[in-house]
Amino acid sequence: MDYVNAFIVGGIICVIGQILLDKTQLMPARILVLFVTLGVILTALGIYEPIVNFAGAGATVPLPGFGYALAKGVINEVNTEGFMGVLTGGLKATAAGISAVIVFGYIIALIFNPKAKA
Amino acid sequence: MDKAKQIKQNYKEMVEKASPSSNMGVNCAWAFFVGGTICVIGQIITEVLKTYGYAKDDAAMMTTVILIFIGALLTGLNIYDNIGKYAGAGSIVPITGFSNSVVAPAMEYKKEGYILGMGARMFTVAGPVIVYGVISSVVVGIIYYFFK
């Protein structure tokens, strides 16, 4: 059942992205920025956490899940560290992902070359 | 003259009626299927990690790292862009698409040098995402600190 929930919720989030892509002039970069920001706001409002509990990776793997990790990190860190948590919480919670994307991205881009456009 | 205008108008209506709706239906089906599948793969990785004793949050973070690696590798092998031709948002919105958005320009601009080519262009998309994500999270943190 976990897998079905993940498939459906993850699919729906991507369909929302596709509708934005087809119906508006938004470029993918703008959609990703919108989704991350939306993830932060929905988490702050307590809406995204129940979706994560229901769908698991279906809610954490799409980009709003990145916003969820940022917002949750900040809130947890403010609870434990006080005001400094405002500045440290978000990046701390997402540090693994950001470092991974930089390191893996760099290594892969060193090894591979773009395919010549046909 | 009027007739030509009329035909033009009819044609325009026909195009509007026919092309976007059918395309959008197909696009959405692809996005749903591919996006959902990537999330299921993420769920499988999470479940496997949990059996190795990872806590829920750690498992989710580790899953993100693994998916970022898979997305980067598939981009390097030129497989991800081929998936993207059909999947559209289904390949852009998951975290693997975030990884793709870093690797693709990094490879593309490698020829312009390692600092201002690769180093800078890696963040063409990831940069704005991190900027607005962090800013909104700080705003949330400030509000939460004063009103919790």
What residue segments make up the domains of chain A, in order of their start?
Answer: 2-111
User: Which positions in chain B touch A103 (Cβ < 8 Å)?
Assistant: none
pLDDT band, very low/low/confident/very high, at B7 (cuts 50, 70, 90): confident
**Once rounded to an integer, what is the mean pLDDT over residues A24-41?**
93
Q: Evaluate if residue A118 carries a pLDDT over 80.
A: no
Smallest CA–CA separation between A50 and chain B, in Å?
15
pLDDT at B2: 75
Concatenating the DSSP letter of every residue in chain B gives -HHHHHHHHHHHHHHHHHHHHHHHHHHHHHHHHHHHHHHHHHHHHHHHHHHTT--HHHHHHHHHHHHHHHHHHHHHTT-HHHHHHHHTHHHHSBHHHHHHHHHHHHHHTGGG-IIIIIIHHTHHHHHHHHHHHHHHHHHHHHHHHHH-
Chains A–B, number of C-beta pairs less than 8 Å apart? 278
Q: Which of A26-30, B128-132, B143-147 has the lowest mean pLDDT?
A: A26-30
Q: Evaluate if residue B22 carries a pLDDT over 60.
A: no
pLDDT at B36: 97
Of B78, B102, B125, the CB nearest to A115: B78
Q: Evaluate if residue A26 carries a pLDDT over 50.
A: yes
Q: Read off the pLDDT of residues B105-130 as tens digits, 9 standing for 90 and up.
A: 999 999 999 999 999 999 999 999 99
Smallest CA–CA separation between B55 and chain A, in Å?
13
Q: Do A97 and B136 touch (CB under 8 A)?
A: no
pLDDT band, very low/low/confident/very high, at A53 (cuts 50, 70, 90): very high
Q: Which of residues 68-107 of B touch A (CB under 8 A)?
A: 68-69, 72-73, 75-78, 88-90, 92-95, 97-99, 101-104, 106-107
Specify the pTM: 0.89
**Residue A60's closest chain B neighbor by CA?**
B60
Q: Do A114 and B104 touch (CB under 8 A)?
A: yes
pLDDT band, very low/low/confident/very high, at B1 (cuts 50, 70, 90): low
pLDDT at A55: 96
Q: Which of residues 13-72 of B touch A (CB under 8 A)?
A: 20, 23-24, 27-28, 30-40, 42-47, 60-65, 67-69, 72
pLDDT at B43: 97
Q: Read off the pLDDT of residues B135-146 as tens digits, 9 standing for 90 and up.
A: 999 999 999 999
Q: Read off the pLDDT of residues B38-94 as tens digits, 9 standing for 90 and up.
A: 999 999 999 999 999 999 889 999 999 999 999 999 999 999 999 999 999 999 999
